Amino acid sequence: MNRRQFITYSGSALIMAGGVSMFKSLDQLQTVEREKTPSFTVGLETEIADIVYLAALAPSGHNVQPWTVKIITSHHWIIGTDSSRWLPAVDPENREMMISIGAFLENLAAAASSKGYKAEIQIIAQSTKDQEIADVKLYKIGYSSNSLIQQIELRRTLRNNFLTRELSNEDIILITQGYQGDFLYYPRNSKESKVLTEGTILANEVQAYRDPAQQELAGWIRWSNQDSRRYGNGLTPETMEIEGFSRWYVKNFYTHQSVLEKEFREATIKKIKEQSTTGSGWLVLTSKDATVSELIQTGRNLQRIWLMVRDRKIALHPMTQVIEEAATAKELSSMLGITGDIQLVLRVGYVNHYPRPVSLRMPLQKIIL
Ligand SMILES: Cc1cc2nc3c(=O)[nH]c(=O)nc-3n(C[C@H](O)[C@H](O)[C@H](O)COP(=O)(O)O)c2cc1C
């Protein structure tokens, strides 16, 4: 290679290298959108594939999407779970996983009904570690006038910008009625609310420095757009509501290791302190015990409420650390004067603007067996 050829070669190589990284970093300005799997790729009628897609828009801890759908016939399925999507460090008994499956089943029933089907759901799991959880049969009953499809598609978890106004009486009744003491609302100025705020902050301080929990979280964060597209699950900068330049920065420069650094743990605790002092108050979901059917029912009740509240600009933010960490979980019931088992703690509050959902979902091929 002579000098002139060398200069031409090295110059183009530099442009190439610069071009690739520039492209990569520009790509991080984009938001990765949820995609809907075309029904022909999963071999189901469009209407049936739509029901599975809508069911899978349910919430789940760390957005692991623990559900699987075994198709026996197009109208008979077994809903199960994939143990590679469990969270043993924060949810060793699969309590929260069962709540997520309950939310999935509620979405499934609502989606089926919106498309003119009745979903007959029978719980078949005996233990929260069983791989097969529910038997579902769909029966065509005509067309429904009360479609919840929009509510299912627009529901999301919100974490920031909660207002501090208390819930109106009408909204408290809407959220808690029909759940005979299983849904408890504590307004922000109540002493129970103070217990929940302080407990949540303490539990996060403990959890942020509990390495197995932090390692597990790190494994479910998709920092770059490439990883978001590859996995279609987990938490992304968008779902964590990291905005503007910070979002671009973390997408380009944060890694699995960043989550284990002191700075990240401290920033998490700071954020939790800010979040947990805003909102109307707290919502505590209880059940009489922690059997599979009770946990599934808690998830179904949660989702039924979650689908209703968006129209009223009421946001929900599950904050589960206070029941995940022994340091706070043990005393919580007695401090709140609750006799049942506490299954979920959520912040609740009005927002001025309810943004569109940004959490990703896996393609249906990954959940259909
Ligand atoms: C059982 C359960 C526990 C959750 N725990 C938390 C939590 O502790 N902190 C949090 O920010 N979000 C929590 N979430 C919300 C999930 O992260 C969220 O549902 C998921 O990322 C999907 O986003 P989406 O709800 O906007 O669809 C939880 C959700 C469920 C169902």
340 lines ligand 1 (CB under 6 A): no
Could you tell me which residues are beta bridge partners of residue 157?
none
359 lines ligand 1 (CB under 6 A): yes
Tokens representing 227?
């990883």
- Name 29's Cβ contacts closer than 8 Å, sequence gap at least 6: 248
Topology agreement, domain 39-155+358-366 and domain 169-350: yes
pLDDT over threshold 50, residue 4: no
- Amino acid letter, 194: K
Residue 177 alpha carbon to ligand 1 centre in Å: 23
**Alpha-carbon span 37 to 16, nearest angstrom:** 34
CATH superfamily of 169-350: NADH Oxidase (3.40.109.10)
CATH topology for 39-155+358-366? NADH Oxidase (3.40.109)
Give the start-to-end residue ranges of the domains of the chain: 39-155+358-366, 169-350
**Alpha-carbon span 277 to 262, nearest angstrom:** 23
pLDDT over threshold 90, residue 345: yes
Q: 4 vs 85, which has greater pLDDT?
A: 85
pLDDT over threshold 60, residue 61: yes
> Nearest-CA neighbor of 346 among 284, 267, 276, 280?
284
Nearest-atom number in ligand 1 for the CA of 58 is 27
pLDDT digit string (tens) for 267-307? 999 999 999 999 999 999 999 999 999 999 999 999 999 99
Determine the pLDDT at residue 28. 83
Helix (H, G, I), strand (E, B) or coil at 107: helix
How would you label 263-293 residue by residue, b for 16+ Cβ within 10 Å and e otherwise? ebbeebeebbeebbebbbbbbbbbbeeebbe
156 lines ligand 1 (CB under 6 A): yes
